[in-house]
Copies of this chain bind each other. A is one copy, B any other.
Amino acid sequence: MRLLLVNPNMTQAMTDRMAALARAAAPGAEVMALTAPRGFPYISSLAEAQIAGAIALEMIAEAGPVDAAIIAAFGDPGLPAARELFGFPVVGMAEASILSALQLGQRFAIVTFTPAMRGWYLASVEALGAGPRCLGVRTPPDHIAQVGDVAETRRAVLRDLATEAARDGAEVVILGGAPLAGLAHDMAGEVRATLLDPITAATRQAVALAGLGSGRAARPVPKLSTGLSPALARLIAQKDAP
């Protein structure tokens, strides 16, 4: 099985860490991991997601057909668009985590490292109709500029937030945001709740859905385009591969 992990952020170290987690989550699969060639070091706004989502489409189109693809940024930029375009399943970190959480317990919470993400992550929860079962997106009060090692520098406060969520009734706590990839494994046993790692959840969902088809069953009308990457243009014109 060939899985494609596209990181719509430009930070290679983040891709490497996520790829390692994905390989651990899908031992039998080949995981191809790509880093965004343009865009932003780290997406953290709707405007950045609009742009990075379009870049993610190009990255998947370029990498050719696989068994399933993972958009490896927690807000899932470009996800519904990708489902329309590609003939294989595409999963997102936030969506896969939330749908996994719904299957593991009655109530869940999301813990992340910055309040800047709260509104966006809440929108992902609400868009899936999971609002009534979510006990909030919980974050430290202040934004931190240095995102890379936040899983270490903010470890204590993140654990406290997860503990409080468990005390309020969350049976599952998602540790959301690409910079926290892997933290759920590291912190297991320290919190009385099931901790969920989004890359693990997304990779497992990619494996679960591989081969089952995609929304492309009902394709939009073929379109000529101008200024797109060649692979994406071919795909939208339906002279295509993926």
| A40→B223 contact, CB < 8 A | yes
| Interface set, chain A 195-236, CB cutoff 8 A to B | 195-196, 200-201, 204-205, 207-209, 212-218, 220-221, 223-228, 232, 236
| Stretch in contact with the other chain, from A13-21, A84-92, A151-159, A175-183 | A84-92
Contacts of A57 in B (CB 8 A): 47, 50-51
Contacts of A49 in B (CB 8 A): 81
| B217→A171 contact, CB < 8 A | yes
**Chain A interface extent, by class:** 35 or more
Verify if A192 is at the interface (C-beta below 8 Å from B). yes
Say how many copies of this protein the assembly contains: 6
Contacts of A99 in B (CB 8 A): 99, 102-103
Verify if A104 is at the interface (C-beta below 8 Å from B). yes
Contacts of A236 in B (CB 8 A): 40, 47-48
Distance in angstroms between the alpha carbons of A166 and B218 in the assembled complex? 8
Contacts of A172 in B (CB 8 A): 213, 215, 217
| A132→B143 contact, CB < 8 A | no
Distance in angstroms between the alpha carbons of A37 and B38 in the assembled complex? 20
The residue of chain B having its C-beta at the shortest distance from the C-beta of A56 within the complex is B50
| A83→B104 contact, CB < 8 A | yes
Contacts of A131 in B (CB 8 A): 129, 132
Contacts of A95 in B (CB 8 A): 102-103
Q: How far is the CB of A184 from chain B (nearest CB, A)?
A: 9
* A residues whose Cβ falls under 8 Å from a Cβ of B: 10, 28, 37-41, 44-51, 53-54, 57, 78, 80-85, 89, 91, 95-96, 99-100, 102-107, 115-116, 118-119, 123, 126, 128-132, 143, 145, 166, 169-172, 192-196, 200-201, 204-205, 207-209, 212-218, 220-221, 223-228, 232, 236
Q: Can you list 25 A-B pairs with a CB-CB distance of less than 8 A?
A: A10-B226, A38-B228, A39-B226, A40-B236, A46-B83, A46-B84, A47-B84, A48-B223, A51-B225, A51-B232, A54-B54, A99-B99, A99-B102, A104-B213, A104-B214, A105-B217, A107-B119, A129-B131, A131-B132, A171-B218, A172-B215, A192-B217, A194-B214, A201-B208, A204-B209
